[in-house]
Amino acid sequence: MITVLRLGHRRFRDMRITTHVALTARAFGAKKVILSGEKDDKILESVADVAKRWGGGLEITYDKNWKRVIKDFKGTKVHLTMFAPSMTEKIKEIKAKKDSLLLIVGGEKVPGEVFQMADYNIAIGNQPHSEVAATAIFLHEYTNGAEFKTTFKDAKIKVDPLERGRKTVEN
Amino acid sequence: MITVLRLGHRRFRDMRITTHVALTARAFGAKKVILSGEKDDKILESVADVAKRWGGGLEITYDKNWKRVIKDFKGTKVHLTMFAPSMTEKIKEIKAKKDSLLLIVGGEKVPGEVFQMADYNIAIGNQPHSEVAATAIFLHEYTNGAEFKTTFKDAKIKVDPLERGRKTVEN
The predicted-structure confidence for A5-64, as pLDDT tens digits, reads as follows: 999 999 989 999 999 999 999 999 999 999 999 999 999 999 999 999 999 889 999 999
Q: Left if phi > 0, otherwise alpha if psi is -120 to 50, otherwise beta: which for A83?
A: alpha
Neighboring chain B residues of A23 at a CB cutoff of 8 Å: 127-130
Give the closest residue to B121 by CA, choosing from B77, B65, B69: B77
Q: What is the pLDDT of residues A115-149, one digit of tens each?
A: 999 999 999 999 999 999 999 999 999 999 999 99
- Cβ distance B50 to A121 less than 8 Å, yes or no, reads no
Quick one: pLDDT at residue B34?
98
Please report the pLDDT score of residue A37 as a whole number. 96
Question: Shortest CA distance to B48 belongs to which of B63, B40, B58?
Answer: B58
Query: Is pLDDT at A90 greater than 90 in this prediction?
Result: yes
Percent with pLDDT over 90 in chain A = 92
CB pair distance less than 8 Å for B133 and A129: no
A5: helix, strand or coil: strand
Q: Where are the domains of chain B?
A: 2-170
According to the model, what pLDDT value does residue A109 have? 85
From the list B16, B121, B133, the residue facing A16 with the nearest CB is B16
Positive or negative: CA dihedral B88, B103, A143, A164:
negative
DSSP A23-47: HHHHHTT-SEEEEEES--HHHHHHH
Q: Is the CB of residue A87 less than 8 Å away from at least one CB of chain B?
A: yes
Q: Which residue of B has its CA nearest to A167?
A: B83
Cβ–Cβ gap B161/A129 under 8 Å: no
- A157 at B interface, C-beta within 8 A: no
Query: Is residue A109 less than 8 Å (CB to CB) from chain B?
Result: no
Can you give the C-alpha Rg of chain A in angstroms?
16
Binary contact (A158, B88; C-beta < 8 A): no
Q: In this model, does residue B109 exceed pLDDT 90?
A: no
Mean pLDDT for the stretch of residues A64-84 = 98
- Tell me if chain B has a CB within 8 Å of the CB of A158: yes
Are A84 and B23 an interchain contact pair (Cβ–Cβ within 8 Å)? Answer: no
- What pLDDT score does A150 carry? 85
Is this structure's pTM higher than 0.90? Answer: yes
Cβ neighbours of B112 in A, within 8 Å = 165-166
Closest-CA distance, B52 to chain A, in angstroms, reads: 12
| Mean pLDDT value of segment A92-120 | 95
Provide the pairing of β-strand A32-37 with A59-62: parallel
Among A149, A160, A155, A146, CA closest to A55: A155
Q: Tens digits of per-residue pLDDT, B41-100? A: 999 999 999 999 999 889 999 999 999 999 999 999 999 999 999 999 899 999 999 899
The answer for A 25-54 residues in CB contact with B (under 8 A) is 26-28, 50, 54
For residue A142, how many C-alpha atoms fall within 13 Å in the half-sphere facing its CB? 28
Task: State ipTM.
Answer: 0.97
B117 at interface of A, judged by CB pairs closer than 8 A: no
Summarize pLDDT for B113-162 with one digit per residue, the tens: 999 999 999 999 999 999 999 999 999 999 999 999 988 989 999 999 99
**What digits encode the pLDDT tens for the residues A140-152?**
999 999 999 988 9
Among A42, A147, A168, which would you mutate to test the B interface (most chain B Cβ atoms within 10 Å of its Cβ)? A147
Task: Fill in the amino acid letter for A70.
Answer: I
Handedness of CA B2, B72, B45, B171 (dihedral sign): positive
pLDDT in the model for residue A161: 96
Residue B171: predicted pLDDT: 85
CA torsion sign, B129 to B133 to B135 to B137?
negative
Q: Which residue of B has its CA nearest to A111?
A: B165
A108: pLDDT strictly greater than 90: no
Residue B145 has what pLDDT? Answer: 96
Side-chain-facing half-sphere of B38: CA atoms under 13 Å: 12
What is the band of A113 on the pLDDT scale with cuts at 50, 70, 90? very high
Beta partners for B157? B170
Strand B2-9 relative to strand A168-170: parallel, antiparallel, unpaired? Answer: unpaired
B3-30 residue pLDDT tens? 999 999 999 899 999 999 999 999 999 9
Cα–Cα nearest to B11, from B2, B23, B1, B19: B19
Distance of alpha carbon B66 from alpha carbon B64, whole angstroms:
6
Q: What percent of chain A has pLDDT over 70?
A: 100
Is the CATH code 3.10.180.10 the one for domain B2-170?
Answer: no
Say whether A128 and B23 touch across the interface (CB within 8 A): yes
Contacts of B111 (CB under 8 A, 6+ apart): none
